[in-house]
Every structure is written in C-alpha cells, then in structure tokens.
Chain A
Amino acid sequence: MGKKQLLGILVLSVLITGIISCGKLMPEAPADDEILDGPMEGLTPEQRRIFLRGDVAFNDEIFSVNNGLGPRFVATSCGSCHAGDGKGHPFTTLTRFGQSDTLANGFLHLGGPQLQQRALLGFQPEQIPADATFSKFTPPANTGLGLLEAITDATILALADEKDADADGISGRPNWINIPSYSLLRPGTVERNGKYIGRFGKKAAVYDLLQQTANAYNQDMGINSTYEPYNTYDGLEVDPEISNQTVLDVVFYLQTLKAPIQRNQNDADVIAGKQLFMNISCGKCHTPQLQTGLSSIAALSNKTIFPYTDLLLHDMGPDLNDGYTEGTALPAEWRTPPLWGLGLSKNSQGGQLFLMHDGRAKSIEEAILLHGGEASQSKINFQGLSSADKISIIRFLESL
C-alpha cells in the first residue's frame, strides 16, 4: 500500500468521523414547547418505562382484523384520532347519537351512543337510527389530561354557579353522571344521588381516564376489554381483545403526558391579549389557573396548572344545540374545553384548524364568534374591540 493510499484512507476516515459527529446533518429535535407529546417532568425511571409502554400501545399499536378491529369501527389506532397527541381531524370525527332529554340514552340497544361509520370488508357500517338525534365530536388533544384528572371535585364545585348567584350571566354546573363499576373513586369525590362529577369529553360525561380509554377502545375501534366486554356490533359479551395491562399502560401514558408549554409569553401582544381575554370575561369559563389535589402519581400532585377551563357545563346557545346530550347535560350545554395547546392544533389537524366541538370553526376568531348563550356577552365584548386588540387576543390564544 502506497503512502498516497494510506493518506487517502486517513483523510476519508477523518471525513467520515467528522460528518458523523456533525450534528447539523441530523434532524434536530423540535423544541419542547412546539410539540404536545412527551412525558411530564418528575416521573421516576419506573414510571418512564410504563409511559413508554403506553406510548407504544397508544401510537404504534395498529388494529386490524387479526387483532380484533371492528367489525365496525371509527379508527384503527388511538394515534389515528390524536396525531402527535393533538386535536383530531374531521377524518376521525366521532358521531354520537341518542336523544335530547337527559333520561339516559335510549339507543344503547341499537348501537348507541357512538356511531361506527366504518366496517371491515364484508360488513356494513352502522347507521344512525331514524328517530335519534346526533352530534359530531372532534377528537380532543390528550395533553395534560392527568393534571385535569387530579383536580379535586371541591375545586370544580367551587367554580360552579348553577343559579348564577353573582348575576354575571354565567352559570357553570357539573355534569352529574353514572360511573362504570370499574372506575375507582378519587379522593374527595363528591356523590349526589348516586351520581358523580364527569370531567372528560365534550359533555363532561366521562369520570376518569380509565373510563375514557376503555370506552375509546370499545367504541372507536371495536376492541373489547374486561372493562368494556360487550361487542359494539351485536351487543354480546365477548372475550377480551386487549389485556388489562395494556389498557392501564395507556391510561398511565395519558395521565403523564406533559401539559402544553406556552410560547412567546413575553411578547407584548401576548401579554396584552391575555389581559384583554380576562377583561372581556372569557376567563370566567376558561379559568386560567387551577390547582391539582393529591394523586397516586407524585408528579401530578399539588401542581398549579394553566388549562383555561373550569371543567363545567355551560349553555352555549341555540346555534350550538345539536339536540343530543349525555348524562345530565342539556343539548346546548358543553363543557368548557381547555385552551392549553390550542396554538399547536394546526400541527395535528393537517395545517388547518377545526375548532369547536365538531370542528365547524376554521379559525380562532370564527370559534369566538360562534360562542352564544352564557358566552354571548364575551362575544359581544370581543366584537367591540379594535382590530389590533382582536389580534392581540388571537396572538395570546395561539401562544397557548
């Protein structure tokens, strides 16, 4: 081997080593505040392992005919509805059917409450019964759910003002629901006539993340578990198609996903926008700050959080009345959706926005203008703002 060739090898080796060690040729990780997924701080190594198992089950486990999908379904995986743990797209919008009174869903024997509009080859999808009312629900973002779960009933009740005692036109109230037998009561749970406070879902008709997860497997994908053993296709009890461990791993994953991190907090527009948001009374329902109670997961306990929700039902007016209800919520009543993560919605909705419960609003401003009922005065206040002030509010909401 000649000297030139040895030199050549040396140069090539140095070049290759240099290139490999040059981080710029590798894609950088997005900043923490630009993505919704990822665990919250303070988890133990053991908890991080469970988180990872739940992450795989949630985002990577795809259901097909071989592992229990359907035969009727909405989506083939959890991640299909919550890309990057963010808000969903109309492609996986959920349709719920029932009736407009609060006497419990009378269509459970006909496949209610959720429509499975897709089916395996050779099967027909479900149809909405002729006399049923229905509403469409855009899948929500998953982040920060564990923190919302850790808020005490007392905190929620303290925010309620069912009879509008302060005469501000806003009268939030909890949705009192029946809970499944497998749900464990959280410390300090308040019971009223055998019913409990729901806090998840568009109508706050879900008690905890275990119920949410078991229901989603069952109603969205047709996957039965010991928690929800009845097949949505024929209503018969069937063998579990997923283990309890997997369901619990996914619950843990949802509980410990980090809360969205606000961006541009020091931007003048954002600061002004937040002040205006509070001034026009948006914050009366979209409560900026809450405190969690005790949780079996230390990282969730006694945290101050900024979800911009009160987890209560509010009458949103006739335009948002779909004639469908869950629990004791009336058809025009909707749970205040958390606003944290709102600014990252485009990154999970295909570069567009599909806001409000059914995705009808294509921009934040349109969503504000669709508010009615208890939120009418806030909407009128917003309409009365200058263009610059409106932009400030929108900048603030985009920063969440």
Chain B
Amino acid sequence: MKKLFLLLSFVLALRVAFGQIDPELLRKPLKDTSGLQLNMDAVYNRPFIQLGKLPVALGGYVEANYQYLSEDGVSEGHQFQMRRLTLFISSSIAKRIKFLSEIEFEDGTKEINIEFASVDFEFAPLLNFRGGVVMNPIGGFNQNHDGPKWEFVDRPISATQMLPATWSNVGFGIFGKKYKKNWVYAYEAYLTNGFDESIISNSENKTFLPAAKENGDRFEESFNGSPLLTGKIAVKNSKIGELGLSYMGGVYNKFKDDGLILDKKRRLNVFAVDFNTTISKTNTFINGEWAWVNVDIADTYTEQFGRKQQGGFIDIVQPIIKKPMFGFDKAVLNAAVRFEYVDWNKGSFKSTGHNIADHIISVVPAISWRPAGQTVIRFNYRYNWQTDLLGNPPSKLAGFQFGFSTYF
C-alpha cells in the first residue's frame, strides 16, 4: 500500500509538472500502422503521452456509465457507476529494455489492482524476456481489455465470470514475433503464481476462476508452490485476421503443507481460441473468444461446482456513419451486437443422469459513437436468460446501459 501510494504520488507529481510546461513538449510515441498488431500487443498499443525526451510515458483510461436493469420484473432502479480509472506508466529504460505498468481503480476505490507491471528485455524479435506482474495470455480479452476499445459497457461474461479477466500474476516468461509479408506469427509462454482452492469454494456457489483474484497474497507467494503455465500462439494476416490458441494450467489445491501430504495434486486446465477480423468490403469488425475449463474436483465434493465449463462471446461491430460530427473530424457511429454464452457446469447429475444446466445466454445490441478513435460513447440494451443448476425456468434480466470510455 505504501509503495502504491508512493507510485501514485509520483504519477500525480508528474501530471502537475505537465500542467506547468509547454504542451508542445508533449508528444505521442509513433503508432504502428502495419495492421499486424495482435492482442498480445495491446499493452504497447495504447496512447501514451511522453514529455520531451524523458524516458517515461503516461496514459490511462476512464469509464463511467448509467444503467437501469430489471430482473424478472424487479429493478434496483437507476444506477450511476464509475467502473474504472486506469493509469498506465511506461518507460524505456534502455534501448531494448522497457517497463510497462497498469494500475486500476475499480468501482471508485473499492478495488485497486496492479494489473500489469513488467520489464521486457528484447534479445531478438523472436526472443523477449518478460518478468514482473504479467497478464496471463489466455484468450484474447484478458490482454486486450481496455474499455475504450469496446462498444459495450459490460465486459464479456465468459471473459470475466468464467475466465478471470483481468487475470494477472507475478512470474516470468518469454515471447516473440516473426513477420513475413502480410503475416505475423507470435508466441508467449509464462510461468506465474496461480489459482487456489477458492475457485471451488466461494460465494458464487459454482466453479468460479475469478474467485482466485481475491487472494492478494498471490503477488507475494504461490498458494501451493506449483507454477501456473500460460502459453499462447497467434497468427495474423493483415487481410484475413488474427487467430489465437492459448492454454493455461496448473495445480490449484494445497496438496502439501508444512511437509505433510494433504491431498493429491488437482489440476485446472483452460483452453481458449480467439479470433478477430475486419471484413474489408463492409468494414465490419468481428471479434470473439471461446474457452473450455476443466477442473479436477474430488467426486466426493458437491456437483454444485462444475468439473467442466465452456463459454465465449462474439462481437459484431458495423460502422454506419463515418464523417465529421459536432466538430469531431473523424467521428464514427457504429451499430454493434454481442452474443454471449457460458455453461458453468457441463455434466450430468449422478442422481438422475440428467444434464446439469447452470448456464447463461445473453444478447447485447448496441449503438456506439466515437468522436475520436480513443473515445467511445455507447448505448447498450442487454437481455440475459440465466438458468439455474437444475434447469428450472430461466430468470430474465434486461435493461439499458449508457456510458463512455476514453483514453486520456
């Protein structure tokens, strides 16, 4: 906390300093326009502002919204939410040594997280070493989650309530890329601290990977001394799109403590595929992710907690109007829709042989307006059908969300 305070003080001091200097000295680092950026590049592909020749660059984004939702005819009324304020700091320590960080304040100051804080050493384009707090490259959303990049107020359910986005841990790993004409090939592999038993013992009453985020100790020590492996390969063609295949797995339970064997090693394995493309004829952007979760849970534990899960989302974004609007030269009005599905418990009841339900289906049509590329104002309508474990009639949730998200 003390360190965080010092870091924030430093950031604030820098911002005060910026206010006193000639804005001409502020410059934005050059942007990659090759069209071959991948989800894994998201941490670099952010607008930073750099002061003159200082090696430190700053950035961030903020998002706030209003929502009115109703579940089975019961509403909590009008809600105004400050979802996130995120600060980025990056620094070129030496020619091929970089520091990147992301500090996030969620729901006011309810949660303060270091989501990313790593040092990258580039030995060759195909061999980079990264260490610190890294974002595990599972699926596409976890690494590429900045609010201003999305046309939807809510983050995808599968990414945040099945997979644990934003999921980051302390660890080390390597990554690299190779460009060949219109193609780019990339890989990432990290060993980090990982999950704990809260994923099958939590207040959600279901196998819930994000429960492990509550364990702040994971930035200090591993729950069970067993590393979590996360690996991803991705390929992109500038005309076709990007495809990523990723894996994350490791032991999640405390199988040994103080030298005593407590249980067998129980693993968690996650496989994910992500893709995105832009149909050039219509300029339609399609972005999606699907993941499968397998958790080794003792047969003697309750079936309430799923041994298998799967789910994903697909976003379709269609620019409708691209022209100056209200004095914004590059304004764009988009129509978009998101389809989501998560099955938190794939399997059948031992007692009846019938399928376990516990799933959600969601549709979110949206209109978004981008006065500039780094700012989005979005209006969403959400409709969820959530079915309980037993397969009883689904509860229905629907409502409207209106908000903005912008880099600064």
B397 → chain A, closest Cβ, in Å?
Answer: 7
| Contact, CB under 8 Å: A121 / B390 | no
Query: What 1/0 flags go to A349-374 for Cβ under 8 Å of B?
Result: 11110000000000000000000000
Asked if B326 is at the interface of the complex by the 8 Å CB criterion, the answer is: yes
Which chain A residues numbered 39 to 96 have a C-beta less than 8 Å away from chain B?
Answer: 62, 64-66, 69, 73, 75-77, 80, 83-84, 89-91, 93
Q: Which of A91, A119, A123 contacts B303 (CB 8 A)?
A: A91
Answer whether A91 and B205 are a contact pair too, CB < 8 Å, given A26-B398, A122-B263: no
Q: CA separation between A30 and B73, bound complex, in Å? A: 8
| Contact, CB under 8 Å: B396 / A120 | no
| Contact, CB under 8 Å: A83 / B399 | no
| List of A residues within 8 angstroms of B396 by Cβ | 27
Asked if A28 is at the interface of the complex by the 8 Å CB criterion, the answer is: yes
A14 → chain B, closest Cβ, in Å?
Answer: 13
A57 → chain B, closest Cβ, in Å?
Answer: 13
| List of A residues within 8 angstroms of B390 by Cβ | 83, 89, 91, 348-350
A161 → chain B, closest Cβ, in Å?
Answer: 37
Asked if A20 is at the interface of the complex by the 8 Å CB criterion, the answer is: yes
Asked if B175 is at the interface of the complex by the 8 Å CB criterion, the answer is: no
Closest B residue to A26 by beta carbon equals B70
| Contact, CB under 8 Å: A120 / B391 | no
Closest A residue to B388 by beta carbon equals A83
Asked if B393 is at the interface of the complex by the 8 Å CB criterion, the answer is: yes
Asked if B62 is at the interface of the complex by the 8 Å CB criterion, the answer is: no
| Contact, CB under 8 Å: B381 / A25 | yes
| List of A residues within 8 angstroms of B300 by Cβ | 118-119, 123-125
Which chain B residues numbered 285 to 336 have a C-beta less than 8 Å away from chain A?
Answer: 298, 300-304, 325-327
Asked if B201 is at the interface of the complex by the 8 Å CB criterion, the answer is: yes
Asked if B202 is at the interface of the complex by the 8 Å CB criterion, the answer is: yes
Stretch at the interface among B24-32, B86-94, B135-143, B346-354: B346-354
Asked if A5 is at the interface of the complex by the 8 Å CB criterion, the answer is: yes
B318 → chain A, closest Cβ, in Å?
Answer: 18
| List of A residues within 8 angstroms of B203 by Cβ | 62, 64
Q: Which of B201, B204, B351 contacts A66 (CB 8 A)?
A: B201
| Contact, CB under 8 Å: A76 / B73 | no
| Contact, CB under 8 Å: B398 / A25 | yes
Q: Which of B74, B304, B351, B391 contacts A76 (CB 8 A)?
A: B304
Q: Which of B74, B325, B351, B400 contacts A90 (CB 8 A)?
A: B351
| Contact, CB under 8 Å: B263 / A121 | yes
Asked if B68 is at the interface of the complex by the 8 Å CB criterion, the answer is: yes
Closest B residue to A9 by beta carbon equals B326
Q: CA separation between A93 and B349, bound complex, in Å? A: 12
Closest A residue to B200 by beta carbon equals A121
| Contact, CB under 8 Å: B400 / A20 | yes
| Contact, CB under 8 Å: B352 / A90 | yes
Q: How many residues of B contact A (CB 8 A)?
A: 48
Q: CA separation between A75 and B379, bound complex, in Å? A: 41
| List of B residues within 8 angstroms of A122 by Cβ | 262-263
| List of A residues within 8 angstroms of B304 by Cβ | 75-76, 80
Which chain B residues numbered 195 to 243 have a C-beta less than 8 Å away from chain A?
Answer: 197-198, 200-205
Q: CA separation between A93 and B302, bound complex, in Å? A: 12
Asked if A16 is at the interface of the complex by the 8 Å CB criterion, the answer is: yes
Asked if B253 is at the interface of the complex by the 8 Å CB criterion, the answer is: yes
| List of A residues within 8 angstroms of B71 by Cβ | 27
| Contact, CB under 8 Å: A118 / B399 | no
Asked if A167 is at the interface of the complex by the 8 Å CB criterion, the answer is: no
Which chain B residues numbered 258 to 283 have a C-beta less than 8 Å away from chain A?
Answer: 262-263, 266
| Contact, CB under 8 Å: A62 / B202 | yes
A225 → chain B, closest Cβ, in Å?
Answer: 20
Asked if B389 is at the interface of the complex by the 8 Å CB criterion, the answer is: yes
Query: What 1/0 flags go to B165-180 for Cβ under 8 Å of A?
Result: 0000000000000000
B249 → chain A, closest Cβ, in Å?
Answer: 18
Asked if B20 is at the interface of the complex by the 8 Å CB criterion, the answer is: no
Q: Which of A76, A349, A351 contacts B302 (CB 8 A)?
A: A76
| List of A residues within 8 angstroms of B402 by Cβ | 16
Closest B residue to A72 by beta carbon equals B300
| List of A residues within 8 angstroms of B391 by Cβ | 350-351
Closest B residue to A86 by beta carbon equals B392
| Contact, CB under 8 Å: A121 / B70 | no
Asked if A103 is at the interface of the complex by the 8 Å CB criterion, the answer is: no
Asked if B72 is at the interface of the complex by the 8 Å CB criterion, the answer is: yes
Q: CA separation between A19 and B397, bound complex, in Å? A: 16
| List of B residues within 8 angstroms of A226 by Cβ | none
Q: Which of B73, B201, B298, B389 has the most CB of A within 10 A?
A: B201
| List of B residues within 8 angstroms of A349 by Cβ | 390, 392
Query: What 1/0 flags go to A104-116 for Cβ under 8 Å of B?
Result: 0000000000000
| List of A residues within 8 angstroms of B379 by Cβ | 16
Closest A residue to B354 by beta carbon equals A350
Answer whether A76 and B205 are a contact pair too, CB < 8 Å, given A125-B300, A347-B393: yes
| Contact, CB under 8 Å: A26 / B399 | yes
| Contact, CB under 8 Å: A1 / B326 | yes
Q: CA separation between A17 and B272, bound complex, in Å? A: 40
| Contact, CB under 8 Å: B72 / A77 | no
Asked if A29 is at the interface of the complex by the 8 Å CB criterion, the answer is: yes
27 A-B pairs with CB atoms under 8 Å apart are: A1-B327, A5-B325, A16-B379, A16-B400, A16-B402, A27-B71, A28-B73, A62-B205, A64-B202, A69-B201, A76-B304, A80-B389, A83-B389, A90-B351, A91-B303, A91-B349, A91-B389, A119-B300, A121-B201, A121-B253, A121-B301, A123-B300, A125-B300, A348-B390, A348-B392, A350-B392, A352-B352
17 extra A-B contacts, CB within 8 A, seeds A1-B327, A118-B302, A121-B201: A19-B400, A20-B400, A26-B398, A26-B399, A27-B72, A29-B73, A30-B73, A64-B203, A65-B201, A76-B302, A83-B389, A90-B352, A118-B301, A123-B300, A347-B392, A349-B392, A350-B357
Residues of A participating in the B interface, judged by any CB pair closer than 8 Å: 1, 5, 16, 19-20, 25-30, 62, 64-66, 69, 73, 75-77, 80, 83-84, 89-91, 93, 118-125, 347-352
Q: What are the nearest 6 A-B pairs in CB distance?
A: A29-B73, A27-B396, A350-B390, A90-B351, A64-B201, A350-B391
